[in-house]
Amino acid sequence: MIAITGGTGLLGAHLIFRLLDQGYEVKALRRKDNTNLVKKIIGYYTTNPHEYFNRIHWYQGDVTDISSLEDFLEKDDLLFHCAGFVSFHKKDKPLLHKINVEGTANVVNAALHQNVKKLIHVSSTSALGRGDVDGKTSETSQWKDSNQNSKYGISKMLGEREVWRGQMEGLSTAVVNPGIILGPGPWDKGSSQLFSKLYNGLNFYTEGVNGYVDVRDVAYVMEKLMFSGIEEERFLLVAENIDYKSLFEQIADILNVKPPHNKATPAMAEIVWRLDATRSFFSGNPPLITKETARTAMNNHYYDGSKITTFTDFSYRPIKESIADFGELFLKDQNNE
């Protein structure tokens, strides 16, 4: 049996579809009846989504509740830990620690107690640190304390350490560190909202650079790692390092809209996040732009994702192909609304 935490998210849902499509039996942990995204994502890739969805064994639970994890896991399960919390808001620091650090520790402890056969953990490029802003980060990069590290990145780094602790205690593990994952999902959240923001008109771009990867590639690599003899290894998953201006232009071209034409300066970014913080304070809604995201967008972060291609026969999809595929799905959703 293949067990998945975080199966109701963008990556988890794609992983579930891939495993079902390969004929595996899958069980997934969910906090509540929030499986609509899973149904939608499965529907992107098959004409018979109900048949696929009905094969999933759902369990009620939460990574912060170790008793529910004990009930969820059984001996010799193969476990994918995709659950996590992403936020760059200062007020969310306690929740980041609770889910990404304590939650991962709970998963590791339950896996050890239930004699799980292998664990594949989803970390992040952020867990590798951002001490060298203009250098190229790889799996061998050492974490450095720096004001460039986000609270999210710190929580993922500490969570990853729990996985390595589990390895030392006898649990077979491997870790993937994806960059920004591009994929079709809730178009108003996460990286998927790049499509909706550009479609609705985005006027500014920054000169920063970041690493991107197709969600389908991440799911593929995770499956291959699970059924390989590879363990005690981490794999940074980045297909391409792209500057924001080029990325926005590619997405805008697919959506047949105008790309942003105004360059945001560092001074402008500092003003914008402060104004948005003020708006958030008075409205009660979370800020769209934070100090961390504004400054990250101005920096050049380069990643070397080649290690996985030397360990396996995997090769990345070009990001241009990913943008074309997901842009087509976005436009189809717009036409169906």
Residue 254 lies in a domain: no
Residue 94 lies in a domain: yes
Say if CB 66 and CB 110 are below 8 A apart. Answer: yes
> In the predicted model, is pLDDT for residue 269 greater than 60?
no
pLDDT tens-digit profile of 278-301? Answer: 544 455 555 555 556 656 666 788
- Residue with the bigger pLDDT between 192 and 272: it is 192
Residue 49 lies in a domain: yes
pLDDT tens-digit profile of 130-143? Answer: 655 557 899 998 88
Q: Give the separation between CA 248 and CA 280, rounded to whole angstroms.
A: 26
Domain tally for the chain?
1
Q: What pLDDT is stored for residue 273 in this prediction?
A: 41
pTM for the structure as a whole: 0.92
Q: Give the separation between CA 104 and CA 274, rounded to whole angstroms.
A: 33
Residue 176 lies in a domain: yes
Residue 295 lies in a domain: no
Stretch among 86-95, 164-173, 242-251 having the lowest mean pLDDT:
86-95
Residue 84 lies in a domain: yes
Q: What is the mean pLDDT of residues 15-38?
A: 94
> In the predicted model, is pLDDT for residue 249 greater than 90?
yes
Residue 55 lies in a domain: yes
What percentage of the chain reaches a pLDDT higher than 70? 88
**Domain housing 8:** 2-182+212-239
Q: Give the separation between CA 254 and CA 12, rounded to whole angstroms.
A: 26
What percentage of the chain reaches a pLDDT higher than 90? 72
Q: What pLDDT is stored for residue 280 in this prediction?
A: 47
DSSP secondary structure letter of residue 48 = -
- Lookup result for tokens 């995709």: 82
pLDDT tens-digit profile of 82-96? Answer: 999 998 888 899 999
Confidence class for position 229, pLDDT limits 50, 70, 90: very high
DSSP secondary structure letter of residue 258 = P
Q: What is the mean pLDDT of residues 40-48?
A: 95
Residue 91 lies in a domain: yes
Confidence class for position 203, pLDDT limits 50, 70, 90: confident
Q: 151: burial class by Cβ within 10 Å (0-12, 13-18, 19+)?
A: buried
CATH code at position 143: 3.40.50.720
